[in-house]
Structure 1
Amino acid sequence: MGGGEKRVVFVTVGTTCFDALVKVVDSEEVKRALLQKGYTHLVIQMGRGTYVPAEASGNSDLQVEHFTFSPSIADYIREASLVISHAGSGSIFETLRLGKPLIVVVNEDLMDNHQSELADELAERNHLFCAHPQTLLETIEAMDLNVLQPYTPGEAKPVVALINKFLGFPVS
């Protein structure tokens, strides 16, 4: 890809420790796959993890930076051409609301698999791609962003009206 267009991949683990995700996006294979897809920058939010990504990439064309926390990741998501995220619902829905392509990586070390269920359901509806740390490379290589469907949040008013009716409150 010529023209010098900046294409950023933003990786977020939220407030958790998800070293498996940080390690795999820091691997030369994943960085090479991102370069081949035309991305120019990799920004990694590492959370509480102990693994620190390499300062420089063997692929000097991909610029890599990392940080632990930020008061808000919304600006990073807005700037991103692709977001790779843990399966936290806040990160997922913030990314989808901003209309950014998303790969959700499920943390298999977590006890509760509700995050996996959410990611699987949204992937089945073609709103995002779902991966595990060991399948992220293959997901990046195979992804076709044209198959993704925009996410439209549900309408809450009918649910509120039903709850109000059930509780005996006036229904507007």
Structure 2
Amino acid sequence: MAGVNKTVFVTVGSTKFDKFTEVLVTPGVLKVLKSRGYTRLKIQYGNGSFIPPDCSLEGVQISSYRFKESLQQDMSSADLILSHAGAGTCLEALGLGKKLVVVVNEDLHDNHQVELAQKFAELGYLLYCTCGTLFKTLQKMDLNSLNDYVPGNPQLFADFLTKTMISDSEI
């Protein structure tokens, strides 16, 4: 076993992504999480119709909620984050130094989430899959192969603007 009493935090943001939350509580997914040492699964299910049960299944303690004012505490305390492919959520999780598996919602039209997930995966920052491949992704995932994400430094841009503005005003 890869460790004990580890927590998985799941977020769908403000969307409705029932297919994702439903697959999380299937015996196969719960068994693979348990086999990797994850014993707690906390699910933020957003505007979904499916409400995951608050109970213990397959040795994994499940708790869920619709919304909180901030997800930062849940993200910070998680050992692994499973998320929809929203840009803000991905950047927040990676900025906290968390291991991240993104589940793309294939039902969205003009799905920019796929492009974001693919690019971050190419850079080695996260793993991504669909609801249909989540089980296999969790089975095969090697979280140690992921690169650390280094957030950009907004001060560099501010310094550039300041330097440019001063140079332009001297002309």
Aligned match for 1:100, one of 85, 98, 101? 98
User: Normalization by structure 1: what TM-score?
Assistant: 0.88
5+ residue gaps in structure 1? none
Please tell me whether residue 6 in structure 1 is matched to residue 2 in structure 2: no
**Distance in 1 (alpha carbons) for counterparts of 2:2 and 2:137:** 24
**Distance in 2 (alpha carbons) for counterparts of 1:153 and 1:2:** 28
SS in 2 for 1:40: strand
1:54-104 CA-partner distances (Å, limit 9, x unpaired): 333441x21001100000000000110000000001110110011010000
Identity %: 41
* Displacement of 1:155: 3.5
Please tell me whether residue 48 in structure 1 is matched to residue 47 in structure 2: yes
Tell me the number of residue pairs that the alignment of Structure 1 and Structure 2 aligns.
168
Cα 1:169–1:18 change in 2 (3 A) is: same
Letter aligned with residue 145 of structure 1: L
**Distance in 2 (alpha carbons) for counterparts of 1:171 and 1:155:** 22
Cα 1:171–1:16 change in 2 (3 A) is: farther
**Distance in 1 (alpha carbons) for counterparts of 2:102 and 2:65:** 19
- Partner of 1:109 in structure 2? 107
Correspondences of 1:20-169 after superposition (within 5 Å): 20-59=19-58, 61-157=59-155, 159=157, 169=165
**Distance in 2 (alpha carbons) for counterparts of 1:2 and 1:105:** 22
SS in 2 for 1:169: helix
* Displacement of 1:113: 1.9
- The answer (yes or no) to whether the contact 1:161–1:171 under 8 Å persists in 2 is no
- The answer (yes or no) to whether the contact 1:12–1:46 under 8 Å persists in 2 is yes
* Displacement of 1:53: 1.4
5+ residue gaps in structure 2? none
- Partner of 1:170 in structure 2? 166
* Displacement of 1:158: 5.3
User: Normalization by structure 2: what TM-score?
Assistant: 0.89
- The answer (yes or no) to whether the contact 2:2–2:35 under 8 Å persists in 1 is no
* Displacement of 1:160: 5.2
- The answer (yes or no) to whether the contact 2:126–2:146 under 8 Å persists in 1 is yes
- The answer (yes or no) to whether the contact 1:77–1:95 under 8 Å persists in 2 is yes
